[in-house]
Amino acid sequence: MARGVRAFVAVETPPEVQEQAGRVIQRLRASSAHVKWVDAGQLHWTIKFLGNVELDEVPEICDALSVAVAGAVPFDVEALGVGAFPDIHRPRTVWIGMGHGSEEMIALHGAIERSLAELGYRTEGRRFRPHLTIGRVRHSAEEIGELGKLIQQNAEFAAAMSSVFEVVLFSSELARTGPVYEPLARVELKGR
pLDDT tens-digit map of 35-66: 999 999 999 999 999 999 999 999 999 999 99
pLDDT at 33 over 70: yes
What pLDDT, on the 0 to 100 scale, is given for residue 178? 76
3-state secondary structure at position 174: strand
Region 1-6: mean pLDDT is 73
The CATH homologous superfamily of the domain defined by 4-188? Cyclic phosphodiesterase (3.90.1140.10)
What phi and psi values does residue 76 have, to the nearest 5 degrees? -100, 145
- Cβ density class 164-175: b for 16+ within 10 Å, e for less: bbbbbbbbbeee
pLDDT tens-digit map of 61-90: 999 999 999 999 999 999 999 999 999 988
Partners of 8 in the beta sheet? 49, 170
pLDDT at 5 over 60: yes
What pLDDT, on the 0 to 100 scale, is given for residue 2? 54
What pLDDT, on the 0 to 100 scale, is given for residue 47? 97
What phi and psi values does residue 29 have, to the nearest 5 degrees? -65, -15
pLDDT tens-digit map of 101-122: 999 999 999 999 999 999 999 9
What pLDDT, on the 0 to 100 scale, is given for residue 112? 97
- Cite the beta strand spans of the chain per DSSP E: 4-12, 35-37, 44-54, 75-85, 93-98, 131-137, 158-164, 166-175, 178-188
Domain ranges (residues) in the chain: 4-188
Percent pLDDT > 90 in the chain is 83
3-state secondary structure at position 20: helix
pLDDT at 1 over 80: no
pLDDT tens-digit map of 124-166: 888 999 999 999 998 766 678 899 999 999 999 999 899 999 9
What pLDDT, on the 0 to 100 scale, is given for residue 56? 92
Region 168-184: mean pLDDT is 89
